[in-house]
Amino acid sequence: ELPTHVTIYEVGPRDGLQNEDVALTAEIKVEFIRRLLAAGLPIVEATSFVHPRWVPQLADAAEVMAQLSAEAEVLPVLVPNERGLERAVELGVRHIAVFGSATETFARRNLNRSLDEQFAMFEPVVTAAADRGISVRAYVSMCFGDPWEGGVPVEQVVAVGRRLVDLGASQLSLGDTIGVGTPGQVTALLDAFNAQGLPDSALAMHFHDTYGQALANAYAALQHGITTFDASAGGLGGCPYAESATGNLATEDLVWMLHGLGIETGVDLDALVGTSRWMAGQLGRPAPSRVVAALTK
Ligand code: HMG
Ligand code: MG
Residue 219 contacts residue 184 (beta carbons within 8 Å): no
Out of 239, 258, 279, 292, pick the active-site residue: 239
Q: What confidence tens digit (pLDDT) does each residue in 201-224 have?
A: 999 999 999 999 999 999 999 999
The per-residue pLDDT for 216 is: 98
Phi, psi of 225 (to 5 degrees): 130, 5
| Half-sphere exposure in the Cβ direction for 85 (13 Å, CA) | 23
Burial readout 66-93 (b: 16 or more C-beta within 10 A, e: otherwise): ebbeebbebbbbbbbbeebbebbbebeb
Neighbours of 294 (CB within 10 A): 12
**Calpha distance 6→110 (Å, rounded):** 30
Q: What is the pLDDT of residues 224-268, one digit of tens each?
A: 999 999 999 999 987 778 776 779 999 999 999 999 999 999 999
* Distance separating the N- and C-terminal Cα atoms of the chain: 36
pLDDT tens per residue, the chain (297 residues)?
899 999 999 999 999 999 898 989 999 999 999 999 999 999 999 999 999 999 999 999 999 999 999 999 999 999 999 999 999 999 999 999 999 999 999 999 999 999 999 999 999 999 999 999 999 999 999 999 999 999 999 999 999 999 999 999 999 999 999 999 999 999 999 999 999 999 999 999 999 999 999 999 999 999 999 999 999 999 998 777 877 677 999 999 999 999 999 999 999 999 999 999 999 999 999 999 999 999 997
CA–CA separation, 226 and 197 (whole Å):
15
Ligand 1 close to Cβ of residue 9 (< 6 A): no
Write the pLDDT tens digit of every residue in 79-88: 999 999 999 9
Pocket test for ligand 1, best of 18, 50, 189 (most atoms within 8 A of CB): 50
Q: Is the CB of 110 under 6 A from ligand 1?
A: yes
* 144 CB near ligand 1 (under 6 Å): no
C-beta separation of 264 from 42 below 8 A? no
Q: Environment class of residue 4 by beta-carbon count within 10 Å: exposed (0-12), middle (13-18) or buried (19+)?
A: exposed
**In 67-177, beta strands by DSSP E:** 77-78, 95-101, 135-141, 145-146, 150-151, 171-176
Rounded Cα distance between 41 and 32, Å, is: 12
239 has catalytic annotation = yes
Q: What is the whole-number distance in angstroms between the Cα of residue 117 and the centre of ligand 2?
A: 21
- Nearest ligand by distance to the CA of 144: 1
Q: Which residue's alpha carbon is at the smallest distance from atom 11 of ligand 1? A: 51
Q: Does residue 276's CB lie within 6 angstroms of at least one atom of ligand 1?
A: no
Which neighbouring-strand residues pair with 166?
none
ipTM: 0.98
Residue 194 DSSP SS3: helix
